[in-house]
Structure 1
Amino acid sequence: MPDRPALRSQRLNQVTHAPHAELDALVKAHAPFDTRESFARFVVAQYLFQAELQPLYNDPDLVAIVPDLAQRCRAQQALLDLADLGTQAPAALRGPLQAPSLGEAMGWIFVSEGSKLGAAFLIKRAAALGLSDSFGARHLGEPLGGRAEGWKQFTRILDGLDLTAEEDAAAERGAVAAFARFTELLKHAYAVDAQLV
């Protein structure tokens, strides 16, 4: 095992490296950018994930730590994307995150916020399907203030949090669990019957 980095955000990157690589491979295997129908299923997974995290993004205790947290949530954009793509909003899947500790919640949000960096590449792929940040691929659009700046602001806050060793461990578990949950939602989105699209 390599040395543990000093910064919490770097430690979270380290512990999620393997699940992140597995998820990337799974996304590629489903070829979401081959057709609009396939992309719509990808958006179903994105919507389910963001909708599950919406309570965290609106949590007053977390908003006290990250002041613009509520504005960072992409559930609404993903819902509008589904409408653009002629796809019904799916029912929630059993097993969403329940009452996480502070550390665990920050681990989940770390994964959600980090995905906005990768979205810069995905939205270029979506453009080939005639989609954009104002139609069908809104949830991949650039956040207000820019992707890099938004990420830096979030990681500065995350790295500066005074957490116990237990909460630090919970943040790592939360980040790994977030990748596992998105992987589960992606499999569900591509397995559901064809009536979805």
Structure 2
Amino acid sequence: MTATATCLTEPGRCARLKASSSRDHDSVDALVMAARPFEDRERYARFLQVQHRFHGSLTALYRDEQLNRRLPGLVHLSRFEAVEADLQALGLPLPAAPQRVIASPAEALGWLYCSEGSNLGAAFLFKQTQRLGLDGNLGARHLAPHPDGRGLHWREFVAKLDGLALEADEEAEVVAGVIAAFDSYRGHLRAVFVAGGG
């Protein structure tokens, strides 16, 4: 970062990230639905394994001091502990700790954009868990809305991310981070639902 760094906000950074990753986003959505994670509690347990792998891999990013200076309050946004609470609430064993994501500071912003953006889509997933008798207190805590509401929480995160001053090469790294995050999630889905016999 230098004093000459500029903040590109026309359109906003997050709008550009959404446009550049829309195909990846749609692909992940299709894979999740194809996995039928809400067909029964057994399949939902597999979905929790996917969530554990993905959100667990990001814990170091959410705790990173530099990232928390750039995105104040980031440390409180991780859903990994909630995922583990959901597994325990359903009497499921906790998987081994996932391998942590290694990313540059700019790439990390892309990973976090993907992770936080999934909160919006979680509204649909949260509703589906109710078919299984689950809710924010039992088995679906990590899908429950943010206390401030999904929309407000997302707008606040977008404002922080859009407000960062980045160099052109860093902008490219953020995009690479988003794509890498979607690739990672697809890999976890396939490992758990396809390679796992689902």
**Number of residue pairs the alignment of both structures matches:** 189
Q: CA deviation at 1:97?
A: 1.8
Aligned partner of 1:10 among 7, 11, 15 = 15
Match for residue 164 of structure 1? 167
Aligned partner of 1:132 among 132, 135, 142 = 135
1:72-119 deviation per Cα after TM superposition (whole angstroms, max 9, x unaligned):
00000000111122222222456x421x22210100000000000011
Q: Which amino acid aligns with 1:79?
A: E
Moved over 3 A (4+): 191-194
SS of equivalent to 1:128: helix
CA distance in 2, matches of 1:193, 1:106: 31
SS of equivalent to 2:58: helix
Q: Which amino acid aligns with 1:133?
A: G
Q: Contact between 1:36 and 1:85, CA under 8 Å: does it hold in 2? A: no
Match for residue 64 of structure 2? 59
Indicate yes or no: 2:64 matched with 1:87.
no
CA distance in 2, matches of 1:192, 1:127: 27
TM-score, normalisation: structure 1? 0.91
Return 5+ residue gaps in structure 1 as ranges. none
Return 5+ residue gaps in structure 2 as ranges. 1-9
Q: CA deviation at 1:152?
A: 0.5
Match for residue 74 of structure 2? 69
SS of equivalent to 2:147: coil
Matches within 5 A, 1:1-197: 6-92=11-97, 96-98=100-102, 100-191=103-194
Q: Contact between 2:57 and 2:98, CA under 8 Å: does it hold in 1? A: no
TM-score, normalisation: structure 2? 0.90
1:138-180 deviation per Cα after TM superposition (whole angstroms, max 9, x unaligned):
1101112111111111111111110000000000000010000
Q: RMSD between aligned alpha carbons?
A: 1.7
Q: CA deviation at 1:121?
A: 1.1
Q: Contact between 2:50 and 2:192, CA under 8 Å: does it hold in 1? A: yes
SS of equivalent to 1:145: coil
